[in-house]
């Protein structure tokens, strides 16, 4: 199974963006393992400023806490690659950038280092959060195990992040 090429990511980003723009929705990102790649894919699309507001590359744990309001205790208890952390990242992004209606957050082990028995290389947690009509946030999360090396794991992550946004 070949990881998605740049052209496939661009196509997905364009489709997700068209859907957001048509609905008057706007997106922010909160990325750890992809390190800005989701935002890069979104802004590859001409005219993306209509639906993409910006985001955070929260690579260091201190940035996850400081910029997105993730609790240091949450990271210590569950690890940076965990459901509570990506949930807090996505919801934190929507709280900080309060004009946005959608957030994507990802945190994973892209490798080559950092894998453990519980969370081997390729383990990624993703979260999609959106603002409901009453202002409250709703969030869905999933854990994936992607194949391949660092570049592959990051590509699969960008693809799923955008694909599921498109499906919501």
Which residues of the chain form contacts with its own copies (CB under 8 A)?
Answer: 29, 31, 33-40, 42-44, 46-49, 52-60, 62-63, 66-67, 96-97, 99, 111-113, 150-151, 154
Q: What is the DSSP string of 72-91?
A: HHHHHHH-SSSHHHHHHHHH
**Which CB sits closer to its own copies, 119 or 154?**
154
Of 108 and 127, nearer to its own copies (C-beta) is 108
- Taking the least distance from each CB to its own copies, the nearer of 44 and 163 is 44
Least distance in angstroms from the C-beta of 138 to its own copies: 23
Q: Which is nearer to its own copies, 62 or 116 (CB)?
A: 62
In angstroms, the CA 104 to CA 139 distance is 10
* Distance in Å, CB of 120 to its own copies, minimum: 16
Shortest separation between residue 121's beta carbon and its own copies, angstroms: 11
Show the tokens assigned to 22. Answer: 């048509």
Residue 55, token pair as written in the block? 């985001």
Q: Are 80 and 68 in contact (CB under 8 A)?
A: no
Min CB(35)–its own copies separation in Å: 3
Pairing of strands 102-108, 27-31: parallel
Q: CA-CA distances (angstroms) from residue 121 to 17, 83, 85, 114?
A: 30, 17, 18, 7
What CA–CA distance (Å, rounded) separates 121 from 112? Answer: 7
- Give min distance, CB of 98 to its own copies, in A: 8
Nearer to its own copies, 11 or 44 (CB): 44
């Amino acid at each position: 199974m070949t990881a998605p090429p740049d052209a496939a990511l661009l196509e997905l980003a364009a489709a997700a963006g068209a859907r957001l723009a048509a609905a008057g929705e706007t997106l922010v990102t909160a990325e750890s393992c992809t390190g800005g790649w989701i935002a890069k894919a979104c802004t590859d699309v001409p005219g993306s400023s209509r639906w993409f507001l910006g985001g955070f590359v929260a690579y260091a744990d201190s940035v996850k806490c400081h910029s997105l309001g993730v609790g240091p205790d949450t990271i210590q208890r569950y690890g940076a690659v965990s459901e509570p952390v990506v949930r807090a990242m996505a919801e934190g992004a929507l709280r900080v950038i309060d004009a946005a209606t959608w957030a994507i957050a990802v945190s994973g082990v892209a490798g080559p280092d950092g894998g453990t028995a519980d969370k081997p290389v390729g383990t990624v947690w993703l979260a999609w959060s959106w603002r409901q009509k009453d202002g409250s946030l709703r969030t869905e999360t999933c854990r994936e195990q992607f194949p391949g090396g660092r570049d592959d794991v990051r590509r699969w992550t960008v693809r799923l992040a955008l694909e599921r946004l498109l499906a919501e």
